[in-house]
Amino acid sequence: MEIMKVEIREKLNKDKMLRELPKDHRSLFEQKLQKELHTNSSSPRRYLMIAASVIVLFSLGYLITQVQHSPRQSLQPKSTQVSLEEFSPELKKVETYYLTAISFEMANLNVTEENKMILDVYFRKMNAMTNEYQLQSGKLDINTVDEELINNLIDNLQMRLQLMIELKKELNKLKSNKNEEDTI
């Protein structure tokens, strides 16, 4: 217990010493303050700060004028675009089935130098059909059920799958012809 009393007294004495400032502290502080205040004020850093401030002010002014002169967007809600799933879960299953089948057929393609030209032709057709599908699916609206549009989307998926199957048959023909030539 005595050891703790001694340690606490030592700590209190140290704290007291730390609280008391040296006698020449005030004069040292004033000297450092004078030195900092009377340094050369034409440093390049100061000019950079001024230039940065000017740039920020001009940028803010430009942005404010652009916002004021831009046309206001109407507050009317746009029609909500939806997917086939929101019309019917069965339609989503059909869409998923066809997209999965198309992806599966694409994944099983063997790309070689011999079939590259055929693939390019079929892929251009496929991209055109995909773009048409995306364009038509953008026209879907939850407020109006357009059976013709839904049927067109499903037909597009069927045609894309059929195109992939035709491509696969064409590649198999090309492969068999090449194998016959190699055996001869």
The one-letter amino acid at 30: E
Q: What are phi and psi of 78, to 5 degrees?
A: -80, 160
Domain count, the chain: 2
| Residues 174 and 91 grouped into a single domain | yes
| Residues 179 and 90 grouped into a single domain | yes
Residue 77 counted as domain residue: no
Greatest mean pLDDT range, 26-40, 100-114, 154-168: 154-168
| Residues 55 and 100 grouped into a single domain | no
What does the alpha-carbon distance between residue 126 and residue 164 come to, in Å, rounded to a whole number? 8
Residue 177 three-state SS: helix
What does the alpha-carbon distance between residue 111 and residue 170 come to, in Å, rounded to a whole number? 13
Q: Which two tokens stand for residue 151?
A: 């049927």
Q: Which of 84, 98, 108, 117 is nearest to 160 (CA)?
A: 98
Confidence class of residue 74 from pLDDT cuts 50, 70 and 90? very low
Confidence class of residue 170 from pLDDT cuts 50, 70 and 90? confident
Residue 74 counted as domain residue: no
| Residues 121 and 170 grouped into a single domain | yes
Confidence class of residue 162 from pLDDT cuts 50, 70 and 90? very high
| Cβ atoms of residues 105 and 168 within 8 Å | yes
Residue ranges making up the domain that contains 12: 2-69
Q: Which two tokens stand for residue 175?
A: 């492969």
| Residues 177 and 97 grouped into a single domain | yes
| Cβ atoms of residues 153 and 133 within 8 Å | yes
